[in-house]
């Protein structure tokens, strides 16, 4: 029997590319997002392997209802990927608390809604793989990323904290931290994006990671190592180095 995968945040970008990659690999995929039209068009390309399941991840009841629908059609998903999120670049002069709150509702609370829905069943079965997409932007501050980096840093901390309880269970928890991936979201950035990769490449890396046991799936490797090194530097070195590399 093929593995059953639920991807929340699958209408475009990394989520759509991952849904297609896993469907091609023979997995049965449920693709969720708010855009019914995009999901149905995506599923039509993989008839019999992919199902469109529209939902708003910020609606906790809707997430639970969608999970129940999947379970009614043959059982719970073996793999859940929580990928829904958005990006809102902001300069310091334009910072607004309400804009951050809106992004937190999707990027952080949307993840929390997904975790709350699927984790109890996984723990009861002592099985399942739960992968959460954050970003290397959550490692440390980056230009115009006061909103986005804040949300992704919160998600990284959330998943790392849950790992302590889950590492001795049969539930496999994974954290996905992509670098710059060419999508409609990163197209909003007005600075140079080093090591930019395609969504298809990101999907290949994530698919391979989901077949393994590493806690963190982070890429591109060189960029990840550079950022992890930079965040250990004192701020008097960090700010000019990152600013120079991004043109800020």
Active-site amino acid positions: 148
Q: Counting runs of H as helices and runs of E as strands, what totals does the chain give?
A: 9, 9
Strand partners, 80: 6, 130
Query: 């990284």: which residue's tokens?
Result: 156
Tally Cβ neighbours within 10 Å of residue 138.
Answer: 22
**Residue 208 Ramachandran class (φ > 0 left, ψ -120 to 50 alpha, else beta):** alpha
């Amino acid at each position: 029997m093929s593995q059953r995968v639920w991807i929340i945040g699958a209408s475009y970008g990394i989520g759509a590319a991952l849904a297609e990659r896993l469907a091609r690999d023979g997995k049965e995929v449920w693709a969720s997002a708010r855009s019914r039209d995009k999901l149905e068009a995506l599923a039509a390309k993989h008839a019999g392997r992919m199902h469109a399941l529209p939902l708003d991840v910020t609606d906790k009841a809707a997430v639970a209802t969608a999970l129940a629908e999947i379970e009614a059609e043959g059982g719970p998903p073996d793999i859940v990927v929580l990928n829904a999120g958005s990006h809102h670049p902001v300069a310091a002069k334009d910072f607004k608390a309400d804009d951050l709150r809106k992004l937190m509702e999707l990027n952080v609370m949307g993840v929390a809604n997904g975790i709350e829905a699927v984790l109890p069943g996984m723990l009861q079965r002592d099985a399942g793989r739960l992968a959460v997409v954050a970003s290397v932007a959550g490692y440390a501050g980056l230009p115009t990323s006061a909103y986005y980096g804040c949300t992704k840093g919160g998600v990284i901390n959330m998943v790392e904290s849950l790992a302590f309880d889950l590492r001795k269970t049969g539930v496999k928890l994974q954290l996905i931290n992509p670098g710059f991936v060419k999508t409609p979201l990163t197209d909003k950035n007005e600075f140079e994006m080093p090591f930019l990769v395609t969504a298809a490449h990101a999907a290949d890396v994530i698919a391979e990671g989901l077949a393994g046991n590493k806690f963190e799936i982070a890429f591109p490797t060189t960029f990840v190592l550079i950022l992890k090194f930079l965040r250990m530097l004192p701020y008097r070195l960090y700010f000019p180095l990152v600013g120079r590399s991004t043109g800020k």
